[in-house]
Amino acid sequence: MKPAFPYIKLTLTIILIAFTPAFTAAQSIDKRPEKVDKLVLERITEANVVSEVGQKSLNYYRQQSQHKRVHVVKLPNELYKVKAFNVFANEKRKEFSFSMSQGASEFVIVQREVNVISDTEYAWLGDVYKKGTEEILGDATLIENKDGRITGSIDIDRMFFKVRTLKESKNNVIIEMSDEQNDEPQVDIGSKKNYDSNYGKFSKQETNITEEIKPIIEPIFDNNEKLQNTGVMRCSPEHIRVLVLYTPGADDDEDVNAEITLASQESNTSYTNSQITNVEMRVVARRLYNFTSTGNIQTDTQTLYGDNTAQDLRDQYDADVVVLLVENGTYGSQWGNAGTLVLDDHQAYAIVDVSKATGPHYTFTHEVGHIQAAFHNPENASTNTLYPAFGYGHRYTYSGCGFNQNCGNTTIMSFKDPYSNGGNTDWKKVKYFSNPNLSKNGKPLGIANQRENYRVLNDTRDDVADFVNEDELRASIGATYLSPDTYSFTSNPCGSSGTRSYQWRISQNPLAVGSASVVSTSQNYSTTFNSPGDWFVQVDVSDTNGQQATDVIRVYIEGSTCGPFDPCFKGVENPEGQEPNSVELLPAYPNPFNPSTQVSFTLPEPEDVNVSVYDISGKEVAELANKRFSAGVHRVNFEAANLSSGNYIIRMIVAGNIIESQTVTLIK
C-alpha cells in the first residue's frame, strides 16, 4: 500500500521545504493579495437539504451540546487555486456572520501552503488577519477531497468554527462552538493509573507499578542509541506511522475519513508550531473495525492492544501507533485514553471519541502525545518520579476577555483550571505543545525545565518511529534552480536495503499529480515549466523488498521572465521608501542557495533583534544578528560554506519573543 504523502511547506517563488514552522507569519507571495475570494458562496436554507441522509447529518451536528449554531452554506471547490478568502464574524458574540452587519468584522485568510496528503486529499492552510491589519489572529485548515467535500476549521483568536460537509450532499456547514467546547474529559491516560475524578488528579496509589515500568523508561531519552549501535545515519524526517481503526458508530456520526485526515494534519501543525522537528505523523491505513465497548475506556484500551485482529492489522501496515475512533458519547465525559505513557511499543494504542478527535479539542493529537511520553500540566498530573521533570503541559491566563473575565489558554496536553478567577475564565486549547521558548498573547507557552512537552517529543521521536519498522523506506526531493522556470529535482531516498526504482509526475492540480503520466524513471529529473502558477512535483520510490515511499513538493512559477535570481523576485525591497508598519522576516534570497543567502527583515520602530540559524535537529549553527536595530529594512548574510547540504531554519526573535521563522535549503 502506498503511504500517505509528506507535508511540504512553501518558500517564496521557489519550492516547498519541510519544517517551515506554522507559528510564523504567512510566507505567502503577497500577504495582502489583490484578489480575495468569498469563502461562503451562498447561505442555504434547510429546505434545500433534500437528502434524508443529509438531513440526518445536519440534525446530528445541531444536537451536539458543544455546537452553538449550525449554518448550512455552499463553499467553493478547487480551494488550491485561491490565495485568500474573506469571512465575517462577531468577536464579542463569537458568532459567524455573513456580512459586516450587527457588529461583525471582516477577516482575511491568506493561503500559507497546500499540502498534498494522498491521491484523493490535500490540505489548504492559511493564516487569519483582521482586514487592514498585519497581526496574525489565527489559522485555517481546510481539507478537500477528490469529490469536492471540505472538512476543516477556522480558528480566530477566541473564536472557533468547524467546517464540515453534510453526508450525501454537496452542502457544507459552518458550526459555531459554544463555551462548552472547553469542557475537559475526566480521564485520558493508561489503565495502570488511579484517577480521582473529584479533583482532576491522580491518587498516590501507584507505587506498586514502579518496578514494572522502570525498565521501559530507562532508555526514553537516549534517542541516538540505535544509531550508535548500528553506525547508520537516521532518515530525516522520522515518520510516526498511524493505523486508524473506527467503529460503525463512529462512521455513522461523522465523515470519518475526513476527520482522520484533519486530525493528522492538526498533529503535524502542532509539531511544527512547537519546534518539534524532524518528525511527521502519517496515517498509513484506515479500517472499519467491529468493537464492542464495555463502557470502561481503560478496560477497552487493554482489550484493544491485546486483540489479535488489531495486532495483525498493525503488523500488516507497519504502524507504530494504533488509534480507535468510537461513536460520540461512548464513554461519556471521557474523550480518550492512551495505553502507555512510557514508550511501551506493545501498548501504543489509544481510543478517541470521534466527535472530540479534532479541534477545538485535539484529543487525537493529545492521546498520541501520551504515547510519545508527553504528560498533562502538573496540576492535573501524577508526580511519579519515573516521568521526566520537564515533561508536563502548560496553561496560563491573561486579561482581555471582557468585564471581570480572564482569557485562558491550554497547550495540547493540558487541561483548564475550572476554578480560575472564580470560575470566570474563558479557556481555549491552542495547537502547541508546551515550550517556554515560544509565547502567545504575551505569555510563554511553558516553564523551563518543568513544562516542556516539546523536549519530550523531540527526544522520543526516534523510538516511537521505530516501534515496528526500523528500516522504513522514505523519500525526499531536493530541488536546484537552473534558469527562469527551469529546475532540477533529485530523489533522496533512505532506509531499506533493496534496489530502488523511481517514477516522477508533475501537475498543477494537487489531486491529479498522483495519477499524472510518468515523466521520468531516473533518480534525477529536470524540467522547464510551461505556464505560471503552482506546480506539484511527485516522486514515487519503490524497492525490491516491496516497500514504497512518496514525496511531493510545490513549485511556484511567476512567469517566463521571473526566477529567484531575477529583479522581479518580491519581498526584499521597500521601493516606496516608507517605514515598514510591521515586524516581518522577509524571504531569504536566493533560496535554495550556495554558499550564502541574504536574510532581510523589517522593523516599524527600534527593537532588540536576534536572528539565528538552526539545523533540523534544533541545534544552533549560526547567529546572524544579536543587537538593537533602528526602524526600517535590514539585511544580514548567512554564510554556509562550512555546513552540509540540507534544510536550515532561520528564526527571528524581537524583544524576547519569537516572531517568525522560515526554512532555507543549502545545495552544494
497 and 538 belong to one structural domain: yes
User: Which of 440, 468, 496 delimits the end of a domain?
Assistant: 468
At 316 the three-state DSSP class reads helix
Give Cα 564 distance to the centre of its chain.
28
Looking at residues 117-137, what average pLDDT do you find?
Answer: 91
387 and 261 belong to one structural domain: yes
620 and 530 belong to one structural domain: no
The CATH number that applies at residue 627 is: 2.60.40.2550
User: pLDDT of 228-266, one tens digit each?
Assistant: 344 445 677 789 999 999 999 999 988 999 999 999 999
What pLDDT was estimated at residue 234? 65
Domain count for the chain:
4
- Tell whether 216 is covered by a domain: no
Residue 456 has pLDDT above 90, yes or no: yes
More confident call, 382 vs 537: 537
User: pLDDT of 615-624, one tens digit each?
Assistant: 877 788 999 9
- Tell whether 564 is covered by a domain: no
Residue 223 has pLDDT above 50, yes or no: no
- Tell whether 199 is covered by a domain: no
Flag the least confident range among 6-20, 556-570, 587-601.
6-20
Cα four-point dihedral sign 79, 81, 84, 88: negative
400 and 544 belong to one structural domain: no
Looking at residues 160-177, what average pLDDT do you find?
Answer: 92
Is 329:63 a contact under the CB 8 Å cutoff? no
The CATH number that applies at residue 394 is: 3.40.390.10
DSSP output for 53-114: HHHHHHHHHHH-TTEEEEEEEE--S-GGG-SEEEEEEETTTTEEESSS-TT-EEEEEEEEEE
More confident call, 303 vs 211: 303
Sequence-distant (6+) residues with CB within 8 A of 67 are 61, 162, 175, 176, 177, 178
**How confident is residue 384, by pLDDT bands cut at 50, 70 and 90?**
low
Instruction: Name residue, grid cell 482575511.
Output: 108
User: pLDDT of 482-518, one tens digit each?
Assistant: 777 888 898 988 888 789 999 999 999 999 999 999 9
What CA–CA distance (Å, rounded) separates 646 from 664? 8
141 and 268 belong to one structural domain: no
- Tell whether 489 is covered by a domain: yes
Other beta carbons within 10 angstroms of residue 60's beta carbon come to 19
495 and 369 belong to one structural domain: no
Is 642:622 a contact under the CB 8 Å cutoff? no
What pLDDT was estimated at residue 107? 96
Looking at residues 444-448, what average pLDDT do you find?
Answer: 95
347 and 265 belong to one structural domain: yes
479 and 456 belong to one structural domain: no
Looking at residues 409-417, what average pLDDT do you find?
Answer: 93
Rounded to the nearest 5°, which phi and psi values hold at 388? Answer: -65, 140
User: pLDDT of 541-578, one tens digit each?
Assistant: 999 989 999 999 888 776 543 333 332 333 333 333 44
User: Which of 429, 451, 468 delimits the end of a domain?
Assistant: 468
150 and 287 belong to one structural domain: no
Sequence-distant (6+) residues with CB within 8 A of 50 are none
Residue 31 has pLDDT above 80, yes or no: no
411 and 294 belong to one structural domain: yes
129 and 240 belong to one structural domain: no
The CATH number that applies at residue 491 is: 2.60.40.10
Looking at residues 591-604, what average pLDDT do you find?
Answer: 83
> Distance of CA 380 to CAs 186, 199, 203, 255, 337, Å?
10, 8, 11, 32, 15
Residue 6 has pLDDT above 90, yes or no: no
Hey, what's the cell of 587?
524571504
Hey, what's the cell of 549?
515511499
Range of the domain at 626: 584-666
- Tell whether 572 is covered by a domain: no
- Tell whether 213 is covered by a domain: no
553 and 593 belong to one structural domain: no
User: Which of 163, 178, 193 delimits the end of a domain?
Assistant: 178
- Tell whether 224 is covered by a domain: no
What pLDDT was estimated at residue 213? 30
Flag the least confident range among 302-306, 527-531, 583-587.
583-587
